[in-house]
Structure formats: structure tokens, C-alpha cells
Amino acid sequence: MLTITTQRKDAEVKKVSGLLQAEEGIRLTSIYQIRTQQINQNKPDHLHQLQHSPRCPA
């Protein structure tokens, strides 16, 4: 009896965490798309900053 309820609980937890991961993935994807749009809009400035960044070996 205990093992059955534990398995059922695990399944519920997995389902909930799966839903949360899906929501998080959608949220991250939309944030990524917004960032990409912003970068594409500011591409000349962005590339200029990258070329003059001290970390970048020239």
C-alpha cells in the first residue's frame, strides 16, 4: 500500500515539475526572443562594443 501511494505521489510530482519546466522553458524562450530582437535592432552598436571589448583578443 505504501509503495503504491509513493509511486502515485512521485508521478504527481513529476507531472507538476514537468509543467513548471515547460512554463519556465516558454518564459525563457520568450525572453531570449526579446533579447535577440533587441540585439538585432542595435546590431551596429552591439558589434562595435564587441570589437572594442577588452576580453576579446584583437
For the cut 80, the answer to whether the pLDDT of residue 4 exceeds it is: no
Per residue in 34-56, pLDDT (tens digit) is 888 887 776 665 555 555 556 65
Full DSSP string of 1-58: -HHHHHHHHHHHHHHHHHHHHHHHHHHHHHHHHHHHHHHHHTHHHHHHHHHT-TTS--
Q: Tell me the percentage of the chain whose pLDDT exceeds 70.
A: 64
Where in the chain are the domains?
A: 3-48
Task: Please give the average per-residue pLDDT across 1-19, as a whole number.
Answer: 79
